[in-house]
Structure 1
């Protein structure tokens, strides 16, 4: 069981908070100051791993003994030149791939086992309201189809920047968004087949290095799982995932199966996806969303009955298969005045994700007991 943490000074949740959530063993981390295409320095990696896996003298003096592993990184972002297959933002595809390979090798030396990444053009994920009110008084991430249909990407960028509590959002980094016009122009005319071809080139170059380093690459499905603003997305369906996995046969090329992202298309069957791709799922995010008939959806609590995703059935499928990978709760609601007190990163407060851990582990334990 993992818990995503954005780093010291970059998260309203501390490692001391996470220690008190029963069952969490893995801190899912990244070097969030690094931009796509940059090399991660070994000293930076080792320092962050030491921070996660160690204990301060002050904590030891309080009798704290519990530590974490740092075996999952989310994410090492793929530079747009790799997705486009040509030089963009001042970096060529081969230069960006060389930097990616260097980073994967260094992470392997630090003991990292899984690296999550995505292959989405421009935006890594998309919502229209970061603090949407729910009937129980909490707030959550919300996607309103009509807003996306009428909104320009530029206006959406401005709206996101104004509503993040001053915290950076992965996939919406200011450095990336500053080059939006260049990226938007670069993707004009790019097809899904073009993206698959670029993806194969990337895998052929990176997977051998991942095998040598003992690192499993795990692609995250598109969020939401359909094209937005005319940009082609290629990990958006069961068929798309199968095609991506077929691009390279190595077991080091697999999935971060985010069931919330995948299930944002109401036609998708999350439990079926788990059973279908089980042997290639290295990491999984289990969360719940609620669909509306007009195409909108909202994040809700992790309990299956709260929304449209069968989170209980998902955990049953994992338990029956004796899944050996990594799991974490995903976007939680913002509870108990978090919006005005801790002011967390949207979707990444403490309380609802802690509740999610307990729900997922409870289901897992029950189904494992049945076996």
Structure 2
């Protein structure tokens, strides 16, 4: 497995100089953040990003993410235009020799939490999702704004989009995803780019919006409908694992050979549809990362893996979930497990 780290570019308070000091660190997961959703990524911007990373002795191994335009998710008449743009971006990424693209198909809002700095018993803080609080929030009011959300819409446009989604069932949203993949995956195959869809986070509907990348059944359906090695998944232990009904080992087995990227993090279940993120240590949360990593090793996964959302520890401040210290501890923890798995294989 190739240890990797999320980096948000030159404005990220966590610098490449910091990241490269983490033992075993090889890859950088990043994107181009200053372009409107749906616009073709110019090759020049991609290569500049890649070269800035390579100058520090690391490599840009995953793009996370190339956002999918809302017209595609909604199945609007204009979606073919945005799909063509998406394919052109994949071509430019391949030209820069970038072979893995993480993306998601979550309507309107990306990952969602009710608190960004919820206290933990050890004095650190982390991201928390409280279902009771979220169901009483009007997302249009601006009461809840989270990193990752595209809030470039005008309020009237956002309201219209959310209202339009009320007419879109989970089945229709899945059909729109398949429509997108049927047109994008041939381009990905031609350019040898692995597409890795990220699960919905949390893995259930929010704000009355449908969500579909939530379960083993939906993963299997999506993979079968567009049956290509280049159509795969990002396996996020924290996203899928937020739902106790998801058997993560069974999900891994169901996606064997189609897992192209892994997000490793831990969450602690706090009740029905509520959870808080913890350290990566198995005993701190409800996700047993050593068991997950052992299964990935047994399945032959050798792709990029990154420590996902971390706590804020030792007084660090910064982008919620994306500080340096706890993610570095997570990388060290994951590396230790991987080293032990290698030793056990040799024995």
Query: Residue 320 of structure 1 contacts residue 368 of structure 1 at CA under 8 Å; is this kept in 2?
Result: no
- SS of residue matched to 2:92: helix
Note if 1:34 corresponds to 2:35.
yes
Q: Distance in 2 between matches of 1:71 and 1:214?
A: 14
- SS of residue matched to 1:72: strand
Which of 166, 172, 176 is the equivalent residue of 1:194?
Answer: 172
Written as runs of structure 1 = structure 2, the 5 A alignment for 1:265-344 is 265-338=243-316, 343-344=317-318
- SS of residue matched to 2:144: helix
Q: Quote how far apart the aligned CAs of 1:181 are.
A: 1.1
Note if 1:356 corresponds to 2:330.
yes
Q: Distance in 1 between matches of 2:272 and 2:221?
A: 30
Assess, with a 3 A threshold, how the Cα gap between structure 1 residues 176 and 116 changes in structure 2: closer, same or farther: farther
Q: Distance in 2 between matches of 1:96 and 1:236?
A: 25
**C-alpha RMSD over aligned residues:** 1.3
Report Cα offsets for 1:308-334 as digits up to 9, x if no partner. Answer: 011110111122233121110100000
Note if 1:2 corresponds to 2:1.
no
Note if 1:208 corresponds to 2:182.
no
Report Cα offsets for 1:181-208 as digits up to 9, x if no partner. Answer: 1211221211112112111111111111
- SS of residue matched to 2:122: coil
Q: Quote how far apart the aligned CAs of 1:177 are.
A: 6.6
Counterpart of 1:64 in structure 2 is: none
Q: Distance in 1 between matches of 2:5 and 2:341?
A: 22
Counterpart of 1:123 in structure 2 is: 109
Q: Distance in 2 between matches of 1:14 and 1:177?
A: 33
Report Cα offsets for 1:129-183 as digits up to 9, x if no partner. Answer: 011111111110000111012222224x43326xxxxxxx22x133147532121
Note if 1:346 corresponds to 2:320.
yes
Counterpart of 1:61 in structure 2 is: none
**Residues 264-273 or 75-84, more deviating:** 264-273
Counterpart of 2:75 in structure 1 is: 85
- SS of residue matched to 1:279: coil
Aligned residue pairs, count: 342
Note if 1:24 corresponds to 2:37.
no
Written as runs of structure 1 = structure 2, the 5 A alignment for 1:46-195 is 46-55=47-56, 67-87=57-77, 92-155=78-141, 157-160=142-145, 169-170=147-148, 172-176=149-153, 178=155, 179-195=157-173
Q: Distance in 1 between matches of 2:36 and 2:123?
A: 36
Q: Distance in 1 between matches of 2:175 and 2:151?
A: 29
Query: Residue 35 of structure 1 contacts residue 77 of structure 1 at CA under 8 Å; is this kept in 2?
Result: no
**Deviant stretches of 4+, over 4 Å:** none
Assess, with a 3 A threshold, how the Cα gap between structure 1 residues 177 and 254 changes in structure 2: closer, same or farther: farther
Q: Distance in 1 between matches of 2:36 and 2:205?
A: 24
Counterpart of 1:264 in structure 2 is: 242
Query: Residue 29 of structure 2 contacts residue 62 of structure 2 at CA under 8 Å; is this kept in 1?
Result: yes
Query: Residue 137 of structure 2 contacts residue 143 of structure 2 at CA under 8 Å; is this kept in 1?
Result: no
Assess, with a 3 A threshold, how the Cα gap between structure 1 residues 50 and 119 changes in structure 2: closer, same or farther: same
Report Cα offsets for 1:211-250 as digits up to 9, x if no partner. Answer: 1111100000110001112211111111111111122011
Q: Quote how far apart the aligned CAs of 1:284 are.
A: 0.7
Gaps of 5+ in 2: none
Instruction: Normalising by structure 1, report the TM-score.
Output: 0.89
**Residues 291-300 or 17-26, more deviating:** 291-300
Q: Distance in 1 between matches of 2:299 and 2:185?
A: 26
Q: Quote how far apart the aligned CAs of 1:276 are.
A: 2.6
- SS of residue matched to 1:150: coil
Gaps of 5+ in 1: 56-66, 162-168
**Residues 198-207 or 13-22, more deviating:** 198-207
